[in-house]
Amino acid sequence: MAGLPANSQAQPSGKPIGSSSFQTNLFNLEAGANEPFRYSATLKNGTGQPKIYALDAKVPSGWLASFRTLGSPVTSIHLEAGATQEVSVELSASPYSKPGKYAIPVTAISPVDTLRLNLEAVLKGAYKMELTTPSGRLSENVTEGSLEQIVCTIKNTGTLPLTNVELSAQTPPKWQVTFEPAKVERIDPSGSIDVTAKVHVPDKTIAGDYVSTFTAKTQNANADAAFRITVKTSLLSGWLGILVILLAIGLIFRLIRKYGRR
């Protein structure tokens, strides 16, 4: 659909060549919050003398607008009498903008006239989430044979509600992880909710660092968080180990005394 040409409000002295205009063939575009809106427009100086047009766009709060000609960013354009110039208009929406249709007035202003171009940006909703912890720390110390609780935070960083968020975990063999709650019904945009991961570390797990990956997902989005879990030997296991060593030393000493006399 073609945009209507904007005629100059005043005609300078000199021989007129035609009407000045600022036009585009596609004034209505649709994109997501993380995609730019790119419009191709044509600016024409229909007067009989050169002009410098300053470019401007009235965008919603948090949005950005930029202009390019011949691949280079510009804020104004010099046009000779009767000349035309292709202008690329790029709009970037704020990640916090709600889905909907936005009217974007764009102007090219010279000292004697103002050309207007009315653009429309249809912002689609975006599904996006983040999985972290209340403190942001993704590491934990646990004891072998214990049940540890890790609080996780699911954040809705998109512009559409998240529904039926399910949680799962990839862990070392024989480890078990359950989540409470196991499913979150709804998280509104900019909202968050805490869930508790109950991690059971099997007995006799060798001390060291292990990685477990927790996942939150819906039909439209997913997020992962890799936790470094450091396993330590329990105090009881340590004393049992020392006792075994002492018994072994005692047995060797007894054998030496018994057979050393022969």
Is 192:155 a contact under the CB 8 Å cutoff?
yes
For 249, phi then psi, to 5°, come to -65, -40
**CA torsion 162→214→194→148, rounded to 10°?**
160
pLDDT of 77 reads: 96
Q: Given a cut of 80, is residue 30 above it in pLDDT?
A: yes
Q: In this predicted model, what pLDDT tens digit does every residue of 129-146 receive, in sequence order?
A: 999 999 999 998 888 888
Minimal CA–CA distance to 29: which of 164, 124, 143? Answer: 124
Q: Is the dihedral of CA 48, 51, 55, 58 positive or negative?
A: negative
**What is the DSSP pairing of strand 183-187 with strand 162-170?**
antiparallel
Topology classification of domain 129-236: Immunoglobulin-like (2.60.40)
Q: Pick the more confident residue, 249 or 228.
A: 228
For 92, phi then psi, to 5°, come to -120, 125
Is 56:104 a contact under the CB 8 Å cutoff?
no
Q: In this predicted model, what pLDDT tens digit does every residue of 87-132 receive, in sequence order?
A: 999 999 987 888 999 999 999 999 989 999 999 999 998 889 999 9
Percentage with pLDDT > 70 across the chain:
82
Same fold: 21-123 with 129-236: yes
pLDDT of 234 reads: 61
Minimal CA–CA distance to 121: which of 148, 157, 145, 94? Answer: 94
pTM greater than 0.75: no
Is 52:109 a contact under the CB 8 Å cutoff?
no
- Its CATH architecture, for the domain 21-123, is Sandwich (2.60)
Q: Given a cut of 70, is residue 229 above it in pLDDT?
A: yes
Q: Given a cut of 90, is residue 6 above it in pLDDT?
A: no
pLDDT of 242 reads: 58
Residue boundaries of the structural domains of the chain:
21-123, 129-236
